[in-house]
Amino acid sequence: TVALIAGGHTFGKMHGAHKPKDCLDADPGAAGVEMQGLGWKNNCGKGHSEDTITSGLEGAWTQAPTKWTSLYLQNLLNNDWEKTKSPAGGKQWQPEDKALHTSVPDAHVKGKYHAPVMTTADLALKFDPEYRKIAEKFLNDPEAFRLAFAKAWYKLTHRDMGPQSRYLADSAPQEDLIWKDPLPQAETKAISQRQVEKLKAQILESGLTPS
């Protein structure tokens, strides 16, 4: 959990440039046919870039949100945080240290800067004693953090692919992990294609119907 949150929030930002209820049209299921299965059309500003709206929370967690760093953990653990609101009115947190309020470059507007932000869920990693132990370990051991996030992200993006036999690329990790739903080794030899055809013919000749 800590690896996935801390690693994931090392990159990117949240999008809450405006209030969703004032800007977004209906969701895909309720949108008109002209939306071609899309939804949440954004009618504010550009409708994208610095006007992007998703959760209603706004901002990046680190000063270098396009690079792999330990800045998320440094910011989280080494600062005191005060509650604030996003432009959309969402409750989030910013550092009490005003020197950090112009440390995060805007993702779209050159020369514009912001404070790093945290969500309430992020702060749980700091104030929950068990999560904090792990967060501090990762801060003090960047390689352990990198490896833990790599494994967590690998699981998140591959967990529905099934057993190891479905992994085709030479670069695919060969470790057989429990979340891959590993199949036990067969104790008998697999039947041949000729035997398969024979069984199919026998079933068809049996007169059985699907019902």
Domain annotation covers residue 182 = no
Shortest CA distance to 123 belongs to which of 85, 82, 162?
82
pLDDT for the residue numbered 5: 98
Number of residues written out for the chain: 211
Residues of the chain with pLDDT under 70: none
pTM: 0.80
Domain annotation covers residue 93 = yes
Contact status, residue 73 vs residue 118, Cβ threshold 8 Å: no
Domain annotation covers residue 150 = yes
| DSSP helix/strand/coil, 67 | coil
Domain annotation covers residue 199 = no
Domain annotation covers residue 61 = yes
Q: What is the 3-state secondary structure (H, E, C) of 157-182?
A: HHCCCCCHHHCCCCCCCCCCCHHHCC
pLDDT for the residue numbered 182: 81
Shortest CA distance to 93 belongs to which of 106, 102, 84, 104?
84
Number of domains composing the chain: 1
Domain annotation covers residue 101 = yes
pLDDT for the residue numbered 37: 87
Range of the structural domain that residue 56 is part of? 2-158
- Helices assigned H by DSSP within 67-178: 71-78, 120-127, 129-140, 142-158
Domain annotation covers residue 202 = no
In angstroms, the Cα distances linking 102 to 81, 92, 111 are 15, 17, 10
Domain annotation covers residue 84 = yes
Q: Could you tell me the CATH number of the domain that includes residue 112? A: 1.10.420.10
